[in-house]
Amino acid sequence: MSLSPHVKLYGYQFSVYSWIVRLVLVEKGVAYEWIEVDPFASDVSPDYLALNPFRRVPALRLGDFSLYETSAITRFIGDHFDGPLFRSASTFEGACVDQIISIVDQYGYWPMVRQVFSHGCFMPLSGEAADENEIRDGLKKSEVVLGAIEALAGDDGFLVGNALSRADLHLAPMVSYFTEVPAGAAMLAEHARLSRWWDSIQSRPHFVATKPDLDLLG
């Protein structure tokens, strides 16, 4: 397997998971080529399906090496490229990072993004009919998720330990989309640690630079 320094990232501009990987790459200081793929299109190219047969984004290619699944990609970026960023100081911290990422993926993504954000923001901006019941159900389930992460979050402005980790960058795009909906922003404000964390991370230059332009939906 040859590893070229040229990174290709295949993703969808509004995909929260594509945003996560972009954010990790930029925070890590890794240059990459962006290749737009719409996983909802009926004509996803066979070349992309050879990278990811599940029609999901993102996927990463580095020379002859390719990888899909966001947490696997971000772990690879953290371990493969030079620099200490995203490397946990202890086995305990590494386990906590993985735990938060798993919580976000298993319990947070669907209610926060696919229910609250999609029906409360994305679909209205796209001219599609939204379902208020989906928003209400998503908010109810999101409260459990935010409460669990609030209990795990540290006091130093980061989710784990005293430095930026993959956990921070995995959750941040989800929270950004969730808080586009006023009810989501109000719910987050009820969680003191997460609110302090969010105030800090959303002002990071790389976060701002990689944030999708939702005005393009209108």
Residues 42 and 138 both lie in one domain: no
Residues 63 and 99 both lie in one domain: no
pLDDT digits (tens, 9 = 90+) for 30-39: 999 999 999 9
Looking at residue 1, what is its pLDDT?
A: 36
**8-state DSSP, 52:** -
Gap between the Cα atoms of 150 and 152, Å rounded: 5
Residues 206 and 160 both lie in one domain: yes
Look up the CATH number of the domain holding residue 156. Answer: 1.20.1050.10
Residues 130 and 104 both lie in one domain: yes
The average confidence (pLDDT) of the chain is 93
Residues 63 and 118 both lie in one domain: no
Q: Which residues contact 7 (CB under 8 A, 6 or more apart)?
A: 25, 30, 31, 32, 33, 60, 61, 62
Determine the structural domain holding residue 36 and report its residue range.
7-80
Residue 217 lies in a domain: no
Looking at residue 88, what is its pLDDT?
A: 66
| Band of pLDDT at residue 85, cut at 50, 70 and 90 | confident
Please state the domain count of the chain.
Answer: 2
Residue 1 lies in a domain: no
Phi, psi of 160 (to 5 degrees): -135, 125
Looking at residue 5, what is its pLDDT?
A: 62
Residue 150 near residue 194 (C-beta atoms within 8 A): yes
Residue ending a domain, among 47, 80, 113, is 80
Gap between the Cα atoms of 35 and 19, Å rounded: 13
pLDDT digits (tens, 9 = 90+) for 167-182: 999 999 999 999 999 9
